[in-house]
Structure 1
Amino acid sequence: MDESNKLPFNPALQELTQYLRDFSSNAEIVLWNRIKDKQLGVDFSWQHPIGDFVFTFFCKEKRLAIEIESDAHTHPDAYFSSVQKQEALKDYNIRVIQLREEDIVKDVEKAVKLIKSSLT
């Protein structure tokens, strides 16, 4: 594998990623059912760790991370975490899409269209 393409991995997050998948929100499940199995032409992983962060969904091929925001993300500390994630990812050429849980549940097709347009 080309080392310049390699993403940092923190094995300490493996247990957390499994927990997050086991206790997923309805919005995560609804969206996962629309993007899994290469339905958009690329692979996505669910609760993907990169460095010290976990992203709801990640497409390695397109270097696209998808974050699903809930009410918990409105806390001021969550804002700083989001900013830290984006700063940490600049060196790895990863783009981040942020979607709100309520918007996904209300109109999953709109969320899928946004993801599709971000894959090009």
Structure 2
Amino acid sequence: MSKPEIMLWQQLRKKPLGIKFRRQHPLGPYILDFYCPAAKLAMEVDGLSHDMGDRPEYDLRREGFLNQQGVESIRISAQDVLDDAEDVADRILRYVQGQLS
């Protein structure tokens, strides 16, 4: 896991409020950075590498596959996590709670 992923995982683990998250969760041919099974939500922490080479096309294929599986995918800037991991985790939790309501 990258530093932003570790920072976000630490925040998600201590704020679950009954919501479970998995890290490095396999789904088909892909490994999701984070996954919330109850909300069928995948979370990808995007660093600079996501803009390089064939990575944008790979990310599009991955997102299409996830959509076919009924899994919503959100992308989170690694810089946002580095700047304030607690705020990012709070926003994710509010989003998941809204999906589950």
Please indicate, yes or no, whether the TM-score normalized by the shorter chain is above 0.5: yes
Q: Look up the match of 1:96.
A: 73
Question: Residue 102 of structure 1: CA displacement?
Answer: 1.1
Greater C-alpha Rg: 1
Unaligned runs of 5+ in 2: none
Q: Which TM-score applies when normalising by structure 1?
A: 0.73
Unaligned runs of 5+ in 1: 1-23
Identity %: 27
**1:2-40 CA distance string (max 9 Å, x none):** xxxxxxxxxxxxxxxxxxxxxx21111110011126624
**1:15-71 CA distance string (max 9 Å, x none):** xxxxxxxxx211111100111266243111111110011110001111010000111
C-alpha spacing 1:35/1:48, structure 2 compared with 1 (3 Å): same
Cα RMSD of the aligned pairs, angstroms, is 1.6
* Letter matched to residue 61 of structure 1: A
Matched, 1:64 2:31: no
**8 Å CA contact 1:43, 1:61 repeated in 2:** yes
Tell me how far apart the structure 2 counterparts of residues 81 and 42 of structure 1 sit (CA, whole Å).
Answer: 29
Q: Which has the higher contact order (CA 8 A, sep 6+)?
A: 2
Q: Which TM-score applies when normalising by structure 2?
A: 0.86
Question: Residue 107 of structure 1: CA displacement?
Answer: 1.4
Tell me how far apart the structure 1 counterparts of residues 8 and 17 of structure 2 sit (CA, whole Å).
Answer: 12
